[in-house]
Chains A and B, each alone.
Chain A
Amino acid sequence: MTRFWTRLIVVLTVILGVNYVAWRWMASLNWEAWWIAVPLVIAETYSLIDVMLFGLTVWNIKFRKPPPPAPADATVDVFITTYNEPLDLVMTTALAAKNITWPHSTWILDDGDRPEMRELAESNGIGYVTRGAEWTPDMPRHAKAGNLNNALMVTSGEYLLILDADQIPEPDILDKTLGYFNDDKVALVQTPQYFINVPADDPLGSQAPLFYGPIQQGKDGWNAAFFCGSNAILRREALMQLGLVGYVKATEKSVRRALAASRTAIKKARRSPEAENPLVEQMLNQVEAATESAQKELEAGASLSEITYRVRRQVDDAVRTLVAADFSALQSDLEEIAAMELAHVGESGVTTVASDAVDRMSGRDWSPLGALESVHAVLDAISVERTDEAQPIMPLATISVTEDMATAMRLHGLGWKSVYHHEILALGLAPEDVKTMLTQRLRWAQGTMQVLLRENPLVQRRLTWGQRLMYFSTMWTYLSGFAAVVYFAAPIIYLTLGILPVNSISFDFFIRFIPFMVVNQLLFLVAGHGIPTWRGQQYSLALFPTWIKACTTAARNVWFGRPLGFAVTPKARQSGGPSWSLIRPQIIVAVLLAVALVVGLIRLLAGMSEPLGTLVNVAWVAFDLVVLSVLVKAVLYKGFEPEVVGPERPEERNANAV
């Protein structure tokens, strides 16, 4: 029944929304003030697409029944990821994890490599994993994704429950979720993230009831429920398969690139003075022939291990021949070589070069000729060892600082299914100060934009259109910062300068705008079963500087290789008084809005503007100020007081509504 009403309202929203925005584009633009008229209509179009994508999400909303029991022999590893969280916080989670009733092994994945953590883990009978020796300092670490990938190589459970260090699991978390994996194609079961240190009015907007509710349930209906990094169970086989497919792709790409680069390097080596030596020339010819035949074999479909092995052998032989020839030509050097203990006097009394001397002199670390150095470097890259990563198989995606979304998208691309289980089975801690909260939101937004720019879901051919749009929808919401700027600017411009972005504020406007707005709010009300969504709406506008920064830094990172300025979200509250400086752009906007209000009223009294236009824009400014007011509350928030009880008991929130 809910589904019927939801769908009805979605249809109405789309009809009325298109009716309004089409009219805005075609009949209402004030071209004389195009510089604000066009941005405003674009912002409104953005918002219409946003609500249409939300409508599409809830169109297929899925209310799941509890799964059947799982086979009793299903093996599980519980991973608790930590970097720098306080030891007692990690141990609280680890001990709760140890108490999970389904048979399992518990592991602390300590990226901080802290001896005290290891000791605590071991004394409590909990596994401890830290990066292996292969993670040398010159290898990219890939943060949490790297931490998990490392642990995957040293554990062997069929399923993995992943928990952030502050997410305390319920003992029955596995009993309630493992059964979904009876379907062989299910790779992921995500449960909600719920925070216990948040007061009823949620000043920092920590709870995400709309996301861990209708949005995930809607995505689930399209087989696109997201992996959110914690409180999720994953199938090892699916992750390993992802790792293998990624390995093959990366290896083929690097071999192709290295073969192309070696041609350039050989050309360059031919121009160097040493190349005039006929021996060197001959060697370069051999190397070139080796890479050319490798290229042909690659096109013919030979296996990469064979090709790379052969190239390596042929090049090594060529270098060896050169060095050996060099030796025989330089008899006079033999004594010196003897002094180096590389040669010995043979039984016949003739000084010979020890066979291993040639081996040693032609070793990879010893370049016989300067000109070959670049050739050597490139040839080293013709390999299947994936020398640029600590481990060849990297199951969790490393293209984004939020590894979860990218991993889920790739799993869906391989044809795996995901499940959203709408029941709180782990209780976590949310940030308790604005600074930490902003850092966290920035990171999520940056990660999401990285995925959009690196693997745009709209062009992933192996995803269904529903899945593509579900991923795209989440990315689209993070563009709201740009629209917010326009929504703040337009009423300020009207009230202070009298410039209206529309032809006139008339009956035509209201008859189209108001029904759309009403049905839009109704959609959130019905789809959300009355869950509070206002806080989320406020933050999606009020954090506009964060969203814009996320877009620009992610774009610079992906296109120009610039660092993101990424920081791990601290779990402990940051000390110090209210930090107003963190929301300076929003304060400036609020002051401008207030000034506009005063100027607008003066202009009205002076007869310089029409009452209706002023009224609409005053209302608009008031709305903007109410939206921004959430930040005042946030900055003044002094952290969670335990005696204040959260909104409801978590059990009561578990609306497994059918």
Chain B
Amino acid sequence: MQFSYEVNDSYAEVKSVGRLNMVAAPKLREVVNEVVAGGSSRVVVNLAETDFMDSSGLGALIGCLKAARQAGGDLRIAGVQPQVKMVLELTNMDRVLTAYPTAEAAFGDD
């Protein structure tokens, strides 16, 4: 699992590659906290290359959402793959998070 991020004009994009599971979850939280602390509170987590996510990964996303919101911004997810989509539905998390097709689209209307 690896994370990288890129800050552009209107948002920061965090790329998550590989398995976002209980081992990677704390790392994701760390990266997003770093991004938010750096002044970019509008964050897109790009999951296009995340082929597996578990409940701990989703839990970390919620933690990150809270951090971004408290900094006055938002956290959105994009590029969800079938397995991740299934996990979102299984936990009803699709009631909370909208999955945007691409990182560009995530803050497209805003």
Residues of B close to A304: CB separation below 8 A: 95-96
Q: Are B58 and A248 in contact (CB under 8 A)?
A: no
A241 proximal to B (CB < 8 A): yes
From A220-228, A384-392, A465-473, the one touching the partner chain is A384-392
B101 proximal to A (CB < 8 A): no
From B2-10, B11-19, B31-39, B61-69, the one touching the partner chain is B61-69
Residues of B close to A237: CB separation below 8 A: 22, 54-56
In the complex, A431→B56 CA distance in Å?
A: 37
B104 proximal to A (CB < 8 A): no
Q: How far is the CB of B93 from chain A (nearest CB, A)?
A: 6
Q: Are A391 and B26 in contact (CB under 8 A)?
A: no
In the complex, A252→B22 CA distance in Å?
A: 25
Q: Are B98 and A303 in contact (CB under 8 A)?
A: yes
Most buried by B among A305, A384, A392, A393: A305
A383 proximal to B (CB < 8 A): yes
CB-contact partner of B91 in A236, A248, A392, under 8 A: A248
Q: How far is the CB of A307 from chain B (nearest CB, A)?
A: 10
CB-based nearest B residue for A306: B98
CB-based nearest B residue for A386: B66
In the complex, A240→B56 CA distance in Å?
A: 6
In the complex, A385→B68 CA distance in Å?
A: 10
Q: Are B62 and A393 in contact (CB under 8 A)?
A: yes
A96 proximal to B (CB < 8 A): no
Residues of A close to B74: CB separation below 8 A: 305, 309
Q: How far is the CB of B57 from chain A (nearest CB, A)?
A: 9
Q: How far is the CB of A105 from chain B (nearest CB, A)?
A: 12
CB-based nearest B residue for A364: B72
A14 proximal to B (CB < 8 A): no
Q: Are B26 and A383 in contact (CB under 8 A)?
A: no
CB-contact partner of A251 in B59, B76, B96, B110, under 8 A: B96
A333 proximal to B (CB < 8 A): no
If A156-B25, A156-B56 touch, whether A385 touches B66 (CB-CB below 8 Å) is: yes
A608 proximal to B (CB < 8 A): no
Q: Which residues 133-177 in A have Cβ within 8 Å of B in the complex?
A: 153-154, 156-158
Q: Are A245 and B56 in contact (CB under 8 A)?
A: no
Q: Are A384 and B98 in contact (CB under 8 A)?
A: no
Q: Are A393 and B98 in contact (CB under 8 A)?
A: no
CB-contact partner of B22 in A156, A244, A313, under 8 A: A156
CB-contact partner of B96 in A156, A241, A384, under 8 A: A384
A528 proximal to B (CB < 8 A): no
Residues of A close to B91: CB separation below 8 A: 241, 244-245, 248
Q: Are A393 and B63 in contact (CB under 8 A)?
A: yes
Residues of A close to B83: CB separation below 8 A: none
Q: Are B54 and A244 in contact (CB under 8 A)?
A: no
- Interface residues as binary, A370-404 with B (CB distance below 8 Å gives 1, 0 otherwise): 00000000000001111000011100000000000
If A156-B23, A240-B59 touch, whether A384 touches B65 (CB-CB below 8 Å) is: yes
CB-based nearest A residue for B95: A248
If A244-B91, A248-B91, A393-B63 touch, whether A305 touches B97 (CB-CB below 8 Å) is: yes
B contact face: mostly helix, strand, loop, or mixed: helix
A127 proximal to B (CB < 8 A): no
A243 proximal to B (CB < 8 A): yes
Q: Are A158 and B22 in contact (CB under 8 A)?
A: yes
Q: How far is the CB of B71 from chain A (nearest CB, A)?
A: 11
A181 proximal to B (CB < 8 A): no
CB-based nearest A residue for B98: A303
In the complex, A154→B59 CA distance in Å?
A: 12
Residues of A close to B75: CB separation below 8 A: 305
Residues of A close to B90: CB separation below 8 A: 241
Q: Which residues 211-267 in A have Cβ within 8 Å of B in the complex?
A: 236-237, 240-241, 243-245, 247-249, 251-252
Q: How far is the CB of B66 from chain A (nearest CB, A)?
A: 5
If A245-B91, A391-B63, A393-B63 touch, whether A305 touches B25 (CB-CB below 8 Å) is: no
If A248-B91, A384-B65, A385-B69 touch, whether A243 touches B98 (CB-CB below 8 Å) is: no
CB-based nearest A residue for B75: A305
If A244-B58, A248-B93 touch, whether A305 touches B65 (CB-CB below 8 Å) is: yes
CB-contact partner of A303 in B59, B62, B63, B97, under 8 A: B97
CB-contact partner of B62 in A156, A236, A244, under 8 A: A244
In the complex, A156→B59 CA distance in Å?
A: 12
Residues of A close to B70: CB separation below 8 A: 385
Q: Are A236 and B95 in contact (CB under 8 A)?
A: no
CB-based nearest B residue for A309: B74
Q: How far is the CB of A386 from chain B (nearest CB, A)?
A: 8
Q: Are B63 and A392 in contact (CB under 8 A)?
A: yes
Query: Could you list 14 examples of A-B contacts with CB < 8 Å?
Result: A156-B22, A156-B23, A236-B22, A237-B22, A241-B90, A243-B55, A244-B58, A244-B93, A249-B92, A303-B97, A305-B75, A305-B96, A313-B110, A393-B62
What are the 9 closest A-B residue pairs judged by CB atoms, nearest first?
A240-B55, A244-B91, A303-B98, A248-B92, A241-B55, A393-B59, A385-B66, A156-B22, A304-B96
Chain B residues packing against A (C-beta within 8 Å) = 22-23, 25-26, 54-56, 58-59, 62-63, 65-66, 69-70, 74-76, 90-98, 110
Given contacts A156-B26, A305-B97, 10 further A-B contacts (CB under 8 A): A154-B26, A244-B92, A251-B96, A303-B97, A305-B75, A305-B76, A309-B74, A313-B110, A391-B63, A393-B59
